[in-house]
Amino acid sequence: MTLMARSIEKMLTDPRVWERIEKHSMPEPNTGCVLWIGHVDKDGYAKMTGPRFHYKRVAVTVSKLVLSKKLGFVCDEPALHKCDVSCCVAEEHLYNGSYAQNYADMIDRGRRVIARDNFGKYTNV
Ligand SMILES: [Zn+2]
């Protein structure tokens, strides 16, 4: 089990964690997204500090934590967003998928820039 998964396992039953999530997120009524207003990583994903394990802490992805609560087990796969809003932590917008599916979704939505065309425009190949 990864340190991230162990952290999630511990955080699932800690009411203070869920208070923190509530405090650091804001519902967006038009889309149903719940936007994270706390710390985000370089890709815009919601992060929070996990519990300490032998002097080590990892930053836990909040969407993974929320998805684990929804599923009822620790999700160690990527938490995918139906809404494509990376900082969204709405339970209903999250589902789990394999890394392959994650990659396919990324290509589908044109998020991955692979090449530039003759006019210097970014395109997906
Ligand atoms: Zn959303």
Q: What is the pLDDT of residues 48-66, one digit of tens each?
A: 999 998 889 999 999 999 9
Residue 26 C-alpha to ligand 1 middle, in angstroms? 11
Residue 80 C-alpha to ligand 1 middle, in angstroms? 10
Domain housing 20: 3-96
CATH, residue 81: 3.90.75
CA distance linking residue 106 with residue 100, whole number of Å: 10
Residue 121 lies in a domain: no
Residue 76 lies in a domain: yes
Residue 26 lies in a domain: yes
CA distance linking residue 102 with residue 35, whole number of Å: 21
Q: How many domains does the chain have?
A: 1
Residue 123 C-alpha to ligand 1 middle, in angstroms? 26
Residue 41 lies in a domain: yes
> Using 50, 70 and 90 to split pLDDT, how confident is the model at 31?
very high
Residue 86 C-alpha to ligand 1 middle, in angstroms? 8
Q: What pTM value is reported for the model?
A: 0.79
Residue 103 lies in a domain: no
Summarize the confidence of residues 8-33 as an average pLDDT. Answer: 96
* Residue the block writes with tokens 């003759």: 118
Residue 84 C-alpha to ligand 1 middle, in angstroms? 7
Residue 110 lies in a domain: no
Residue 44 C-alpha to ligand 1 middle, in angstroms? 13
